[in-house]
Structure formats: C-alpha cells, structure tokens
Structure 1
Amino acid sequence: MVHVRELDPNASPLDYFGYELRRKREAAELTQKELGGVVFCTGSLIGQIETAMKVPTREFAERVDAALMTDGFFSRLVGLVLKSQLPSWFQPYAEMEAKAAYISTYQAQVVYGLLQTEEYARALLETGLKGNVDESVAARMERQRILEREQPPLALVVLDEAVLHRPIGSPEIMRRQLDHLLSFRNQRWVRVQVLPFEAGEHASLAGSFNLLRFEKNPDLVYTEDLIAGHMTANPETVREAALRYASVQASALSPRDSAALIARVMEERYGEQLGPDACAVA
C-alpha cells in the first residue's frame, strides 16, 4: 500500500494549496495522472504539488481552476503561495511594496526587481541561491503583478548607467532586458531614467534604496546590506532619502534621453556581432 503524505493545511500557504488540490481532485474522482493529462503536466508533478514538494506556478493554478471548475480558487491562492517563497526578511517589504501608491527607487547595480525579465532574474538569483531557483524566480515574477493592476503604483525608477553595461547572464539576456526597459516608454505609471557616468559624484554613492509612499500610511525607506533588508518610517531618514532621490533624479537624463541611451547600449554592447570572417549582407 502506498503511503500518502498527510499535510497540515495550516502549516503554510504551500501546504494549504497541496491539501486543497488533493481534496478537490478526489472530489472530482480524478487520479493524479488523469488530472495531469487535463492540465498538460505529469501525474508525478500533481503528486509533488499535493505533498508540498513542488511550488505551483500561476499558469498551473489557472489550468487547475479550469479543469476542476473551482471558480478561480487556486488562482487566488497561488499568489500567497508564491509570496511565501520570498526570503523571510524580504516578505514584509514585498507586502508594503504591493500597497504603495508611489515607488521611487535608485538602483546602482542591477535592474529594479519589478522591471526584470524572467531570464535576467534567473541569472541574478543563480549567483546567490542554494535552493530551488525556479520558486524564487516565480515569486519575483508574481511580485511584478502590481504593475498590471487597474490602479498600479506610480513607479519612478532611476538606474545607474553601470546597470546597463554590467552583463548579467548572456548578451542575449541583456539585450532582451534592455528592450524590456524600453517597453515602459509609453506607460503612464512607470518612468525609467538613467543616471549617466558623466554625472560624476552624486547623492547616493552609498548605494541603492527604495522610497515608498502611501495614501494613508507613513512613508517608508528600504535598503539592503549583504545579509538582509531594512525598512524604516523614521521621519528624518525618510526626509533624507527623499532629498537624495530628488538630487539623483535631477542629475539623471530625461526619460526620452534615457531611452535613447538604453537603446544605444543595447545595440552597441549587446547587439548581434558579426564574426571576423563574416560579411554583412545588404
């Protein structure tokens, strides 16, 4: 007789998802293999998700909702599951980020998380994670859904020019990432600016930071060190961060000129290069 691992649905969002998936599958009188066939995956994957050994994707949740006619139950639940896969020290910030009305960020090293492509995020996460990268990538992509809301936050993003030149992954990954940044040119709720090298010394040489503003709650400042992240609503710290952001933003290129620089770097640094023996074709 096969031993079935029993889950405590109160243990975590992932356990609750697995518990409910098994319960509703059995209520529909489907085997794991049969459900897998309907949602285009293996019965083994169904079993891994039902025992909380594997984290479901949003696409999986949507397909299960359709197959089991659960009226969006799993699609709603998967958001909590994916958020739970974020590092424990980062989860409080992600919750506040999702509630923010305005996000102002200066990024000195890498593209801001909400604007990363999936493959760029994967290449970044693979440099420091010992666990399963797939779950962390899925969680980061889920975090970006706040930009797809009917009323998304206004995101003002200043990237140091170094971010454009630092190769993350491969030239192809970087080209698609920079092209993704350009896709925000005509979006009302996202403004991307680049702080050029020629700006020289500036107000945030100490590093990256995020400033969150809310409709009703106090403003927050978020920074990270090597180990963890730190949030504070201290009025003096918030004021200092706001002044520094205003200074950095004033030194940055306009959104139009920033887009031109991004496009130029994309073509010159990450464009398709001809080999030494190749000839251009007219």
Structure 2
Amino acid sequence: MATKRTPDQLPNPKSSMWAFIAFYLRFRRNQAGLSGEAMGRIMKVGKSKVSRIEIGQERLDWQEAEMIDKEWDTGGLFGLLVWYASLGHDPQWFAQYLDLEVRAGVISAFEAQVVPGLLQTEDYARALLISGDANLADQLLRERIERQLIFNRVSPPHFTTILSQNALEWPIGSPEIMRAQLARLLECAELSNFVVRVVPRSWQTGACPGLDGSFVRMSGDDFGEVAYAESPEGGRLVSAPPDVRKFHVRYDRISAKALPEGPSRDLIRQVMEALSE
C-alpha cells in the first residue's frame, strides 16, 4: 500500500507555477474521486507517473494537459497552466532535458558558439568546464561524457547538428585540443546516423536566426517533440506544439544558410589546417 504523504511532503503551490500544477492536479483528482490508475487512463500514462507529477518529481506536459482538459471540460485550464509555467527559465529543466535526451530517437541541435556537448572530446569539454565553475568541473565532465553513451546503443539516435563557423574557430584549450575536436566532428560526419553542417561566417550569409542563440529539438516515441533553448544559469524546455513549431521554422531558416555536408567538411578541414600553421 502506498504511503500517504503529509502536506509538508507535497509541493507548495505558492513556490512556483509547476508546484501549483502538481497541487491542483492532485486536488481535482481527489475531488473527482479518482484513483491514480484512473487518472493515468485519462492522461494515457501509468499511475506511477501520475504520482510523480503530483509530488513534483516530474512535470505535466502539454499533451497530458490537453487530455485532462478534454476529459474534464476545463476550457483549456491545464494547458494554459503548462504554457505559463513553460515561459520561465528554470535550472531544473536540464534534469528533465537529460531524461528526454536518453529516450530521444531524433536530435537536432544548433550551436552558435561551441561544439555540441554530445560531440565534445574529453579535453575540449574539460577546457570549457574549467572556464566556468572549476570546483564542479570533474563532476560535470563525467556527466557530459556519460551522455555520449547514447550513441553506443544498438539503435542510437539520429543526430543532426548545425554549427556556426564561430564554434569551429573559437580557441578552446590549445591548438592540439581544437584539432582533436575538429577531427572528432569529421569522424562523426562520416557516420550514417550523424549529419554535420556549418553556417559560414561571410557577407553572403549575413545575419541569420542562429545569432539569437543555441537550441536543441528532440523527438521520441513516448514523449512526442520538444525543444530546449539554452540560457545562462538555466534554460527553457518547450513542449507546447505551437511553440515547438517555432523552433522548427527557426531551424529550417538556419539550415537554409548552412553549407551542404561536403562543403561543411571541407570548411572544418580548412580550420584544422590553419591551426597547424
């Protein structure tokens, strides 16, 4: 039998919008006399996930909110709550992002300044992390390298990345570290489940949506599509379809400025050769 939680063990609805959603979902479920299993049938999830949402360990997504609104005829209340909660920048989003990354079948990333974490060499990643919080660098490095194990699966995700030329040329660590990192990019570019393209820094390219910053799109069989927009000290995970579509458009517009795969590899080689001079 599940242990009944005290009010102190449940999310405080005054602490954040996500905590309010967890509180209100539990309140409405109990008001309707529904078990966690019955609630799960409405949301098309298991009762364990209903429990995790209600105690704040997971967050209600847009699709689940839509099913609740339809069943209870709320006028779209839960969908609106999720939408408002998603607007904020929240460091805790990254933990959920990592969970989705492991489950994703397709990942598309645009990087404006550095090589994507999933393609970083250990030395390159270490040099980046030390420039931030040196005290946490070793722990963060282990976590970053462990994330790359998703490519060792029997059915690894398909990974497409578009990088700005800035990401290839910004000096990280040392010339030797940069050459090894660019060589890693070229190795990945030859694999069937990777696509690596570069947006050249030129007058012909000019301004493009990629100047606004880096972001990632992911899709998986059990969670649909989401986007993650990076920001200092946090980030924003977007799950509402209208907002995710905006990232699709943005990615397509950046892609239109990027070089094809062959010329992208040629540019990476040119940058590598320049490091040897």
Alignment TM-score, normalising by the size of structure 2: 0.64
CA distance in 1, matches of 2:120, 2:209: 25
For residues 184-263 of structure 1, what are the structure 2 equivalents within 5 Å? 184-198=188-202, 199-263=205-269
Partner of residue 18, structure 2: none
**Greater RCO, CA 8 A, separation 6+:** 2
Aligned equivalents of 1:130, 1:262: Cα separation in 2? 29
Superimposed CA distance per residue, residues 102-135 of structure 1 (whole angstroms, 9 cap, x where no aligned partner): 1111100100000000000000000111424222
Once the two structures are TM-superposed, the CA of residue 227 in structure 1 deviates from its matched residue by 1.2
Separation in structure 2 between the aligned mates of residue 262 and residue 204 of structure 1, nearest angstrom: 19
Q: Cα distance, 1:165 vs. partner? A: 0.9
CA separation in 1, counterparts of 2:222 and 2:268?
A: 36
* Residues 37-79 of structure 1: CA deviation (Å, up to 9, x unaligned): xxxxxxxxxxxxxxxxxxxxxxxxxxxxxxxxxxxxxxxxxxx
Q: Cα deviations across residues 208-249 of structure 1 (Å, max 9, x unaligned)?
A: 110111124221110121111210101111001001101111
- RMSD between superposed Cα atoms in Å: 1.4
Match of 1:258, as an amino acid? S
1:98-177 to structure 2, matched below 5 A, reads 98-177=102-181
Matched length: 185
Contact 2:108 2:161 in 1 (8 A): yes
Q: Deviations over 1:258-280 (max 9, x none)?
A: 00100011111x11x4xxxxxxx
Letter in 2 for 1:191: V
What is the letter of the counterpart of residue 248 of structure 2? A
Q: CA deviation at 1:88?
A: 5.4
SS state of the match for residue 197, structure 1? Answer: coil
DSSP-derived class of the 1:175 partner: helix
- Matched position secondary structure for 1:183: helix
In the alignment, which residue of structure 1 is the partner of 2:271?
265
Alpha-carbon distance in 2 for matches of 1:130, 1:114: 20
In structure 2, runs of 5+ residues without a counterpart are: 1-90
Name the SS of the counterpart of 2:108 in structure 1.
strand
Ranges of 4+ aligned residues in structure 1 off by more than 2 Å: 87-90
Tell me, yes or no, if the aligned pair for 2:160 and 2:194 is still in contact at 8 Å: yes
Taking the aligned partners of 1:218 and 1:132, their CA distance within structure 2 comes to 33
SS, match of residue 188 in structure 1: coil
